[in-house]
Structure 1
Amino acid sequence: MEKIRIAVRKFDPFETTLQKLWDLFCLQNNIQIEAEMVPLELHELYETTITKKGLKEGKWDIAHLNTDWIYDAVHEKAVLDLYSFIASNPPENYPYGWHKSLLKLQQLDNGTYGLPFHDGPECLIYRKDLFEDQNEQKNFKKQYGYELSTPKTWKEFMEIASFFNRPEENLYGCIFANYPDGHNMVFDFCLQLWTRGGSLINHKNQISVYSKAAIEALDFYRKMVNDSTAVHPKSKQFDSVQAGLAFAKGEAAMAINWFGFASMAQVIEESKVKGKIDITSLPSDPNHKTASLNVYWLYTIGSGSKYKKLAYDFLRFATTSESDKLLTKEGGIGCRKSTWKDEEINALIPFYHKLEMLHENAFTLPQTPIWPKVCEFIDHMILKAINSDITSAQLLEETQNNIQKIE
């Protein structure tokens, strides 16, 4: 029996959507080939597709890759350039159906190496029922001397998190995802840096993490995540998915996480906060602007696949406006503008239309062959910061020296 093999990012909404889409695709096109879909955690997914050359050698026909990895995938010749397929048979309303920020990162070396399928920049997710409660508002004003509203500065964020921290009710001020997987803590650090006017790139276009803004960012972050009077006690064990689930179970007043987890909390069965959540942009330091981070997921085709044409036909099918909407209803985040504005989706997830606003403030990570290694260094640095008394300045300086050695 012939099989097409798909490496899937392990996440229930991705798995259920993909199975439904493949079944529909086969039915509509009278295709008899079976799809073997293997759900994988982040590390396993990167390793099997890129490090172990699974895409290049034809072990995988289609893979979910995120935009952090696409530079590596292209330079390892692991993924197929879709340019000629797109030119002769473009996806529905391509490229106008997507926001420009979802088409940039897969465009490399004059090629197009994937189609966007899941997104949702970083944002502040919060319990609007708590923020809108008159008693809470009264008590907050009495305690802090200003009106309770979504935090505009990091100082306000800290105070609001302390105010809502009620362990006896299994409610905590905020949740972080501090599991050291090279992702969320790195992203959190970048967001702290950008909202203080800092940058990851210096004037010579090199990666630079040692600056005044970086010291302030790391100082605040390490203090915040260690604040047991404000933060969910399991944050250090949570990756982003687990942090998202804890929020959906009603265990926190605020979370800084991907937009997708706000939308998930609105649709999954086990959510206890349906209808009680909203999203807004992140706080920033006074005199600096808010920021978001845009890392998104792509459908890619393995350069060694025997089924390139079939795989591309499926990708076209899986990224139609109808398929995009299905992914959203299953708990993922559609990438098309049509889904963001869809009335049915906005009735289900009332803050869905805000995606456009987040994209307007979204930064992206540097596209450079050393970025995965830099990620490891930053992850390691934050872990050290959280678990030791070494000064932030010293940790950042060490990290910068490590980065310079590989540049």
Structure 2
Amino acid sequence: MDKIRIAVRKFEPFETTLKKLWDAFSVENNLNMEAEMIPLELHDLYEETLTKKGLQNGDWDIAHINTDWIFDAVNSKAVENLSPLIAQNPPQNFPEGWHESLLHLQEINNQVYGLPFHDGPECLIYRKDLFEDISEKENFKNQYGYDLQPPKTWEQFTQIAEFFNRPSDNLYGCVFANYPDGHNMVFDFCLQLWTRGGSLLHDNNQININKLEAIQALDFYRHIVNNPKTTHPKSKEFGSVEAGMAFATGEAAMAINWFGFASMCEVIEASKVKGKVDIAELPHDENQNSASLNVYWLYTIGSGSKHKNIAYDFLRFATTPQSDKLLTNEGGIGCRKSTWNDTEINKTIPYYHKLSMLHENALTLPQTPVWPKVAELIDYMVLKAIDSKIPSAQLLEETQKNIQKII
């Protein structure tokens, strides 16, 4: 029997949602076709779909591609241009059904190469039950001289993390994702840089990270990650999923992570913090603004697929308002405005409507084919900062020299 192959970002909510969607799609279309869905970790997903040209040579019909990679994927002709298919048979309420910030990264040279699948910008996730506890508030004010509330600055973030760090209770002030996969530490570095008023780009739009704000960002980050008085000791082993699970099982008071890991706390069985979580904008330096990072996941079709029409029909089915809501109820993050404002969803996840607020501050990474290689260099730099005593200024200078060689 003929089958369609789907490369899935490994994450249980994605896997269960896709299985349910394919089953429903098959019944609705009287389709007798098997879908082989292979869950892959980030690095393996990039390797399978792009490095090994799996999307070009027909190994994969559909793949989850994140917006970090889409420019690279389009440049290497790995993914199908969906614009002609959309013109003939658009997804329901396209494009008005989505926030504009979820439509532009996959639009290259006025052509569309993917449909939004899973979203949720970076934010501060915190335990509101701890922050609202009367005795905690009193003790905090006595110790630090100001009211306990979600931190506005990185200095407050550090103090609050110290206050809630209680290893004997298996509770830590904060948790990070420091597993070197070319993503989490890169994103954290960018957020630290942006919330200090810095930028990844030079005046001439070239990538340049060798600047004062970057030194401050790297200094702060390497210190807090290694601080046993504030930070979960397993942070260095955690990817974003593991850090999200540690928060969901009650092991941290605060996390800087994707919005999806906040909503996951309300819907997964393993969560010990249902109803005890809220989100806020990221802290920032004095006199600077908050920032968020918008990287989202897309459904894409391989340019070498032999089942492009069925694949596109499935993409249309998988992005309807009902399917988007299903993904959310499974523990992912729907991308449609209708899901963000859904009464039932906001009953389960009371901060879901705040997604539009996060998108107002959400910045994006530079769209250049060399970004994945630049990200590897930044990832290596942050890892070196965490694991060594080499001054941040020296690490940034060396990394910028290596970036220059690529660009």
Offset at 1:109?
2.3
Q: List alignment gaps of at least 5 residues for structure 2.
A: none
1:331 aligns with 2:334: no
1:297 aligns with 2:297: yes
One-letter code aligned to 2:139: N
> Structure 2 CA distance, aligned partners of 1:204 and 1:94?
35
Structure 2 partner of 1:377: 377
> Structure 1 CA distance, aligned partners of 2:255 and 2:164?
12
Structure 2 partner of 1:54: 54
Which range moved further: 370-379 or 231-240? 370-379
Give runs of aligned pairs for residues 279-290 of structure 1, distance below 5 A.
Answer: 279-290=279-290
Cα offsets for 1:51-98 (capped at 9, x unmatched): 111110111000000000001111111100000000110000000000
1:101 aligns with 2:104: no
> Structure 1 CA distance, aligned partners of 2:389 and 2:21?
51
> Structure 1 CA distance, aligned partners of 2:146 and 2:112?
50
Structure 1 partner of 2:25: 25
Structure 2 partner of 1:37: 37
Structure 1 partner of 2:79: 79
One-letter code aligned to 1:90: P
Give runs of aligned pairs for residues 227-376 of structure 1, distance below 5 A.
Answer: 227-376=227-376
Q: Secondary structure at the match of 2:35?
A: strand
Q: Secondary structure at the match of 2:324?
A: helix
One-letter code aligned to 2:29: N
Q: Secondary structure at the match of 2:213?
A: helix
Cα offsets for 1:92-132 (capped at 9, x unmatched): 00000000000010001221100001000000000000000
> Structure 2 CA distance, aligned partners of 1:341 and 1:110?
29
> Structure 2 CA distance, aligned partners of 1:212 and 1:45?
35
Q: Secondary structure at the match of 1:117?
A: strand
Give runs of aligned pairs for residues 179-194 of structure 1, distance below 5 A.
Answer: 179-194=179-194
Structure 1 partner of 2:202: 202
- Contact 2:196 2:285 (8 Å CA) reproduced: yes
TM-score by length of 1: 1.00
Structure 2 partner of 1:133: 133
> Structure 1 CA distance, aligned partners of 2:22 and 2:374?
37
> Structure 2 CA distance, aligned partners of 1:372 and 1:299?
19
Q: List alignment gaps of at least 5 residues for structure 1.
A: none
Offset at 1:389?
1.0
Which range moved further: 27-36 or 125-134? 27-36
> Structure 1 CA distance, aligned partners of 2:310 and 2:118?
21
Structure 1 partner of 2:223: 223
One-letter code aligned to 1:362: A
Offset at 1:388?
1.0
One-letter code aligned to 2:224: M
Structure 1 partner of 2:156: 156
Q: Secondary structure at the match of 2:8?
A: strand
Q: Secondary structure at the match of 2:90?
A: coil
> Structure 2 CA distance, aligned partners of 1:50 and 1:372?
11
1:393 aligns with 2:393: yes
One-letter code aligned to 1:173: G
> Structure 2 CA distance, aligned partners of 1:159 and 1:370?
38
One-letter code aligned to 1:83: S
Q: Secondary structure at the match of 2:359?
A: helix
Offset at 1:231?
0.1
Offset at 1:261?
0.3
> Structure 1 CA distance, aligned partners of 2:109 and 2:303?
16
Cα offsets for 1:313-333 (capped at 9, x unmatched): 000000000000000000000
Q: Secondary structure at the match of 2:405?
A: helix
> Structure 2 CA distance, aligned partners of 1:312 and 1:98?
18
TM-score by length of 2: 1.00
One-letter code aligned to 1:382: V
> Structure 2 CA distance, aligned partners of 1:148 and 1:264?
25
- Contact 2:15 2:39 (8 Å CA) reproduced: yes
Cα offsets for 1:125-178 (capped at 9, x unmatched): 000000000000000000001110000000000000000000000000000000
Q: Secondary structure at the match of 1:278?
A: strand
Offset at 1:390?
0.9
Q: Secondary structure at the match of 1:159?
A: helix
1:214 aligns with 2:205: no
One-letter code aligned to 2:280: T
> Structure 2 CA distance, aligned partners of 1:313 and 1:384?
46
Q: Secondary structure at the match of 1:269?
A: coil
Q: Secondary structure at the match of 2:253?
A: strand
One-letter code aligned to 1:67: T
One-letter code aligned to 2:283: P
